[in-house]
Every structure is written in structure tokens, then in C-alpha cells.
Amino acid sequence: MLKRTLIGLLRSHETTGEKAKDPALRTRHYKLSKDKLWEEVTTILKKLSGYKVLHEVKNVGEIVVEKRTMSGRKQDITLTLFGINPLESAVDIYSASRGSLGDLGSNYRTILEIYRHLDKRLAPYKKNN
């Protein structure tokens, strides 16, 4: 966690991906169609305290959310949902803090928090990579 805070002194964004070095930041795969995953993810995000859904572009698979941090800064979070095949879909997250200073690791923690909620609600469908 200290390493994340140190990186966060300089960096004010974090992203997930298939090849992320940190296993916690790897793309999440679920045994659900993209449409079903979309329904689940939008429902979860709308219930999360402190998060506000700004845009939903279903045909592109993009959901833009805003979160206010403890320090009052705002984070812009983009969740990208994509279908791997008719029975499997995946979610990637990009989170960036507004302002010029680093985020002290808050974008990293935000991504982990969102993934925790998704993994909990979608546990029966989670695919371990």
C-alpha cells in the first residue's frame, strides 16, 4: 500500500487491463452475456454510496461515474464492458482524479472498491483467469 501511495504522489490516474502487473488490477471476466452484465453493473453502481452515474452508452459498453473523495476532489471513473463471446463478458475500469496533484493512491482504492462490489454480487459468474 505504501508503494501505491508513493506512486500516487505523482500519478493521478489508474487503469485495469489484461496484462496489469498488479493482479488486483487485472480485467474481470464473468460468465454472463454483455447485456446481462450491463444490467448488473449499472444496478450496482446506482446503489453505491458516493458514486454518481453521469453517462451510460450501452452500445459502446461505457459507463461514466463520478465519485467525490474524502478530501473533496472528484474522480472520473469509466467502466468499459465488452463481450468476449455470447456467454462471457469482461469489465475494465479507468479512474482519474481532477486537479494537478497526485491522488495518493485513491484511484487504485476506488477501482478495488468497485471490483469488490462486482465480485461479491457476481460471485457465481466470476471467471478466474
Pick the residue with more confidence: 96 or 7? Answer: 96
Q: 2-127 adopts what CATH topology?
A: TATA-Binding Protein (3.30.310)
pLDDT at 17 over 90: yes
In this structure, of 2-6, 44-48, 72-76, the range with the lowest mean pLDDT score is 2-6
Q: Which amino acid is present at 29?
A: H
pLDDT confidence of residue 81: 98
Domain ranges, ordered by start, for the chain = 2-127
pLDDT confidence of residue 129: 60
The rounded distance, in Å, linking the Cα atoms of 79 and 108 is 14
pLDDT confidence of residue 70: 75
The 10 Å Cβ neighbour count of residue 6 is: 13
> In which residue are the cell numbers 462486482 written?
118
Which distant-in-sequence residues (6+ apart) come within 8 Å of 50 by Cβ? Answer: 67, 68
Radius of gyration of the chain (CA): 14
Pick the residue with more confidence: 112 or 7? Answer: 112
> In this predicted model, what pLDDT tens digit does every residue of 50-100 receive, in sequence order?
999 999 999 999 999 999 877 788 999 999 999 999 999 999 999 998 876
pLDDT confidence of residue 71: 74
pLDDT confidence of residue 103: 72
Structural contact between residues 71 and 45, judged by C-beta atoms closer than 8 angstroms: no
Confidence bin at 10 (pLDDT 50/70/90)? low
